Amino acid sequence: MTRMSCGRAAVEALRAAGVTKVFGLMGSSTLEMYDALYDAKDMRYVGVRNENCGAHMADAYARVTQTPGLFICGQAGPGSINMMLGLAAAKMAYSPLVAITGLPATEHLGRDGFQEIDQHTAFLPVTKRVMTVPRPERLPEFILEAFRIANSGRRGPVVVMIPRDLFNHDIEIEIPGTPPEVAGGAVDGATQPWPDAPVDTFAALGHWGQAMYVIPSENLVIVRYGDDRDGSYRHNELLRLALKAFAMKVQP
């Protein structure tokens, strides 16, 4: 167990999730995270001038790298709400985006304080999940869970909201390492890639070979595909290659 500030604990959770690039816009609601990010030399920070642009940039990063994109929205209330269009675009594209933002202090929630907005209700239609951290010691847990949810199943954006006063605490916590399989999206152990696939198999299947999984006991081939973002409509090609994979790996 290590004692650290909640800001540092949040950054350590990002490191455990495999984050190397952070898009963000600094604000008073998350200053402690930014203090810790300053010392995180293994993470590249890309500052933006508008929260909506930052969400779009993290979304684009997620689509290109096929790993979760991260945006830290530093200011609760109006700043957070500025993310709406970027979150909506990510949800429509099933893009694994994680947005971390602030909330007013716990004792001020629901009292119509300065710039308070019902962020939870606002984000529900444009996200896969909205999460509010209830206690300081659970902050790393919620961040890691957000990355898991964003990148598993039907992927999509997840918002983590942190009340301002939680950052005032030091906590003792052991942050578990996140397995690369989780960060990469393979969260279901029932299917496995082809570790023993011969070279000619991948050559025959091309880049589709990386998206195919097999369950030999069920005579089943599963293909991760998604949509035709480039407009090529290659369904017939994919079907042909899937049938070829079935013949090569499943049939005796």
Half-sphere exposure of 110 (CA within 13 A, CB side): 2
Q: How confident is the model at residue 15 (pLDDT cuts 50, 70, 90)?
A: very high
Query: Total structural domains in the chain?
Result: 2
Flag whether pLDDT at 215 surpasses 60. no
Residue linked to tokens 């290590």: 2
Range of the domain at 48: 2-184
The predicted-structure confidence for 118-149, as pLDDT tens digits, reads as follows 999 999 999 999 999 999 999 999 999 999 99
**How many helices (H) and strands (E) would you count in the chain?**
10, 10
pTM: 0.71
The predicted-structure confidence for 147-176, as pLDDT tens digits, reads as follows 999 998 889 999 999 999 998 888 887 766
Structural domain contains residue 140: yes
Same domain for 172 and 80: yes
Same domain for 42 and 134: yes
Flag whether pLDDT at 230 surpasses 90. no
Categorise residue 153: left if φ over 0, alpha if ψ from -120 to 50, beta otherwise: left
Same domain for 48 and 164: yes
Question: Which residues face 69 on adjacent strands?
Answer: 97
Mean pLDDT of the chain: 79
Give the CATH number, domain containing residue 53: 3.40.50.970
Report d(CA 53, CA 85) in Å as an integer.
Answer: 9
Same domain for 83 and 46: yes
* Higher-pLDDT residue of 44, 241: 44
Same domain for 203 and 180: no
Question: What is the model's pLDDT at position 182?
Answer: 40
